[in-house]
Amino acid sequence: MRSLLLILDSVGCGRAPDATFYGDNGANTLGHIFEARPQIALPNLFSLGLWKASMADVFDARGAHTVARWGRMREQSAGKDTTTGHWEIAGAILSEPFGTYTEFPPELIHAIEVEAGVEFLGNYPQSGTVILEELGAEHLRTAKPILYTSADSVLQIAAHERVIPLKRLYEISRIARRHSEPYRIGRVIARPFLGEPGSFKRSAGRHDFSMVPPPTILNAISDSGLTVHGVGKIADIFSNSGITDSTPTASNEEGMRTIADLWDRIDSGLIFANLVDFDMLFGHRRDVKGYAEALEIFDCWLGEFLLGIDEDDLLIITADHGNDPTWHGTDHTREEVPLLVLHGGNAGPLGTRRTFADVAATLADFFEVGPWSIGKSFLDR
């Protein structure tokens, strides 16, 4: 009894009903990528129903011969960030959004600086690569860590590994996490980097320090004695709650390789994986070409991976939010997300689900850990 829950980070499929409230009325991550790259080849995702789920077109050849169940999911939680989306997928709906800031309050910054014994540079919203161009050289001169944010509920602390070693950066970030709790900041992110002025590059030691979620389906599964193995940033997003094993990864390529290796070695339990490049490298940077190519690379890997799935296994592929690379700004976009489900040889539509938490209800059903209180299972029993 094994399952893979695979999050294609930011791969939304069209505006949510409340998108106007978020300034995203015309956003459509997959729709606009398909429009800009009409020759994109995703035969394996289309065979699972991605074309039908995203384009609502049952007559196009890309929607033919669907071998899985397909649909869409609509987020109920307030917000469009990574943590909110993942938590709802795991069965925890947030009625109050995480706090977002264009500048963190002086009293918060002062409290962190006093306890950590540092003085920050920055404290404004900026792209992670641009902030290094703007403040990296000053950081090298002064040894002051760089603090910045984005449209997400994140407090990010960047430091050159030669100036502030990883262990020290993590210590500063843990202190920031504690002081951030009353401000409902979803994640404190340690952002190490290397290089010299003009050629700074973020390194692989990123670590997210998240708020602890309420109980989720991950706790129910792990409490039953089964393994819940997080791949990528899953353990960070859930502050390790309900996670029994974790393999951090730095790229889609490493994530896919890890998933395939774990799948070959387990015979029970849940692998919960996030592939972050779609969002981090292409959505936020508004790179349509790169986003499309990353989807094609994933699809090629998926074709081989599908050969190792048995009829009794459960594969769920979905997303946590949108990040339309054709949309204005660099923020996530409030969208519905595709839902592709392979299990028991069943194929057909799942409709538009009213909450991401239907995934949690389905996992509770599959692993027989009792009905989940939120959401509705889409398994046929």
Contact (Cβ atoms closer than 8 angstroms) between residue 359 and residue 337: no
Contact (Cβ atoms closer than 8 angstroms) between residue 179 and residue 112: yes
Q: Across-strand partners of 271? A: 4, 229
pLDDT at 96 over 90: no
Mean pLDDT throughout 119-128? Answer: 94
User: What residues contact 232, with CB distance under 8 A and at least 6 apart?
Assistant: 247, 248, 249, 255, 273, 274, 275, 276
CA separation for the pair 367, 289 (Å, rounded): 39
Residue 381: per-residue pLDDT? 55
How high is the mean pLDDT of the chain?
95
pLDDT at 243 over 80: yes
Q: pLDDT tier at 97 (50, 70, 90 boundaries)?
A: confident
CA separation for the pair 378, 69 (Å, rounded): 9
* Strands in the chain per DSSP E: 2-8, 69-73, 121-125, 146-149, 154-160, 187-194, 201-202, 207-210, 228-231, 245-247, 269-275, 314-318, 337-342, 348-353
19-78 confidence digits (pLDDT tens): 999 999 999 999 999 999 999 999 999 999 999 999 977 788 888 889 999 999 999 999
Domain with CATH 3.30.70.1250 in the chain: 106-209
CA separation for the pair 31, 39 (Å, rounded): 13
Q: Which of 31-45, 132-146, 198-212, 217-231 has the lowest mean pLDDT?
A: 198-212
Contact (Cβ atoms closer than 8 angstroms) between residue 241 and residue 221: no
> CATH assignment of 106-209, given 3.40.50.1220, 3.20.20.140, 3.30.70.1250, 3.20.19.10?
3.30.70.1250
Q: Which pair of structure tokens corresponds to residue 250?
A: 């730095």
Q: DSSP class of residue 306? A: G
Residue 204: per-residue pLDDT? 86
Mean pLDDT throughout 109-132? Answer: 95
335-352 confidence digits (pLDDT tens): 999 999 999 999 999 999
Mean pLDDT throughout 297-318? Answer: 97
354-371 confidence digits (pLDDT tens): 999 999 999 999 999 989
Place of tokens 């947030």: 94
Q: pLDDT tier at 136 (50, 70, 90 boundaries)?
A: very high
User: Where do the H-state alpha helices sit in 40-81?
Assistant: 43-47, 50-55
Total Cβ atoms within 10 A of residue 4: 22
Domain with CATH 3.40.720.10 in the chain: 2-95+211-366
CATH placement of domain 2-95+211-366: 3.40.720.10
